[in-house]
Amino acid sequence: MTAAGRRPRRVAITLKPSERDALAALAHRAREPEATTAARLLRAALIDHGAALDAAVRQRNAPPAVAEADAGSGAAWLPPSRRAVAIEALRDRYPHELKHLRGDPLADTHIAEQAAALSLWREQIDNGNHADPRMELAFSHELRTFANWLQTNARRHR
């Protein structure tokens, strides 16, 4: 049964205090309401477990305008103030593939921009911005390529 054309229903869940704190921290870092963060995380988990979902009800807007402090410091599509959150989300979702990602990936602009780009691409796929299933294959290929590069780079710096 598809939910197309129907209003989304609200679902209440019970969280332990530590889970609620973690959700609040993620929402704060993403500068979005806790409910939006929870919905995004749940949607990603459902997809990870093979659920075929309709496009997200409310797709995320473009990144906010670059703040004065962020101007001129990297990719305009994802300012440094949001880059760390995006990279952590990617690391949380793909811990095995990104096990060689440094503790502070922002220290290396090249690594930070690639990881942030992959995170934004993943978010776009999850939100249904890409109808072509080959985008999933392309993302997976690029993620593996990036993971292999990180592993090779980590071996060189031992």
Query: Residue 39, by phi and psi: left (phi above 0), alpha (psi -120 to 50) or beta?
Result: alpha
| Structure tokens belonging to residue 76 | 């305009």
CA angle 39, 56, 99 (to 5 degrees): 60
pLDDT means over runs of 10, the chain (158 residues)? 62 86 81 82 76 57 41 59 84 92 83 89 88 91 94 81
Domain ranges of the chain: 54-156
Please give the pLDDT value at position 158: 66
pLDDT tens by residue, 81-124: 778 888 888 999 999 999 998 888 788 888 888 998 999 899 88
Looking at residue 154, its amino acid is A
pTM for the model stands at 0.52
Coil, strand or helix at 5: coil
Report the distance separating Cα 52 and Cα 83, nearest Å: 28
